[in-house]
Structure 1
Amino acid sequence: MALQDLGEFLDPTLSVPIRGKTYRVEPPDAETGLRLQHLSDWMLGAAAAVQADADAPAPSEELLSDAAELDMYRAALGAVYDELFADAVPWPWIKLAGMTAFLHWTVGAEQAEAYWAAGGRPEPQAGNRAQRRAARSTPRPGSPSGTSRSRKAARATAGGKSSATGS
C-alpha cells in the first residue's frame, strides 16, 4: 500500500478572517505543539477540578500569568501574532485569534470554530444551568410549602394580620 503525501491533500493551516483580511496561521513546530498540548491538558484538568467541586471558592492566584498567556497566544499564532500587531488589530481580537488557534492546535478544529463563532464567549453548560434552576426551586429551610414568605410574614398572616396591609 502506498500512502499519498500529506501535503497533497491536507492543508494544516488555520485561516483567521479579520477586517476583510485572512491571516494564515501555520501549525506550530513539534516542540511548540507539545508545549501547547501540555498547557491544554493542564487547563482541562484545572477546569475539571473546579467543576467537580462547584462549592469551592475561586482560586486566589491566577492560573495563568499574563506573561504565560501572552506566550500561549504568540506560540499558537506564530508569525501571525506580529502581523496582527503591525496591522493595528485591537487586543481583544488578537486574544480571540490566539485562543482560537490554541484550541485548533490542541483540542480540534470544531471546538476552535465554535469558540470563534461565539466571539470567545463560552456557552452556558446545560448541567450548570439545570443545577442553578434546581437550586432556585428548592424550598428554603423552615418553609415547608416552598414559598418565599418570611417567618415574620407567615406569623402575621397566621395571627389574623395581613403582612401586606399591616392591619
Structure 2
Amino acid sequence: MGAIAFDNWVKPDLELQLRGKTYTVPPPDTERAQKILAAAVLGEIRLGLVRGDVPEDVTEILSRVSKGEHFALTDEVHRQMVADKVPQVSIDRMAYYAVFYWARGQEYADIIAALMWGPEIAAEAAAGEDTPAPKARRSSRRKSGSSTA
C-alpha cells in the first residue's frame, strides 16, 4: 500500500481579504493552537456565551502570551497589516475572528462577528442615509374611537 495523500484532510489557510488585499494566516501549530483555544474560551465567557469562571488552565496558557505577540494572526501577518496601514480596530477584529475560526470553525466565527459588529455596522450605514429608518408595525390593532393618550 502506498502513502496516503493526507493533504485533502488538513485545514487550509485562513484568507482574510480587506481592500483588495489578501492576508493569509496559516493553521496554528501546537503552541498557537493552545493559545487560540484558551482565548476562545475566555472570549465565550466574556461574551456571556458560556457561564462560569475562567478555568485555571486557560489563565495559565494565556499568561504565556508575550507582550506584542499576535498568535491569532501570526506576527508576520500582523506586520503586513500594520505596514499596509490597516486600522487597529480592523486588525483587532480580524484577530478575534481568527481565534473563533480556528477554535470553532468558519460558521461559528461568522455568527460571532455578526453578533458583535453587525449592529454597529448597520447603525453606521443608517446614520449615513438621508431616509428615516422604517417604523415597526403595531403589535395590536388600533382601537376605534378617540384616543386618550
Q: Do both proteins adopt the same fold according to a TM-score greater than 0.5, normalized to the shorter chain?
A: yes
Measure how far apart 1:33 and its partner are.
Answer: 0.5
Q: Which runs of 5+ in 2 are unaligned?
A: 53-61, 120-148
Give 1:75's aligned residue: 71
1:108 counterpart letter in structure 2? G
CA contact (8 A) 2:11 2:27 kept: no
Measure how far apart 1:92 and its partner are.
Answer: 1.5
Question: Is 1:104–2:106 an aligned residue pair?
Answer: no
Measure how far apart 1:112 and its partner are.
Answer: 1.9
CA contact (8 A) 1:84 1:94 kept: yes
2:51 counterpart letter in structure 1? A
Give 2:44's aligned residue: 44
CA contact (8 A) 2:39 2:99 kept: no
TM score, norm. by length of structure 1:
0.51
Q: 1:99 to 1:38 in 2, by over 3 A?
A: same
Q: 1:20 to 1:115 in 2, by over 3 A?
A: farther
Root-mean-square deviation over aligned CA pairs: 3.5
Q: 1:119 to 1:86 in 2, by over 3 A?
A: farther
- Report the Cα distance in structure 2 between the residues aligned to 1:77 and 1:95, rounded to whole angstroms: 10
Higher relative contact order (CA 8 A, sep 6+): 2
Q: Which has the larger radius of gyration?
A: 1
4+ residue segments displaced more than 6 Å? 67-70
CA contact (8 A) 1:13 1:27 kept: yes
The farther-off stretch of 31-40 and 83-92 is 31-40
Aligned residues: 107
- Report the Cα distance in structure 1 between the residues aligned to 2:112 and 2:43, rounded to whole angstroms: 16
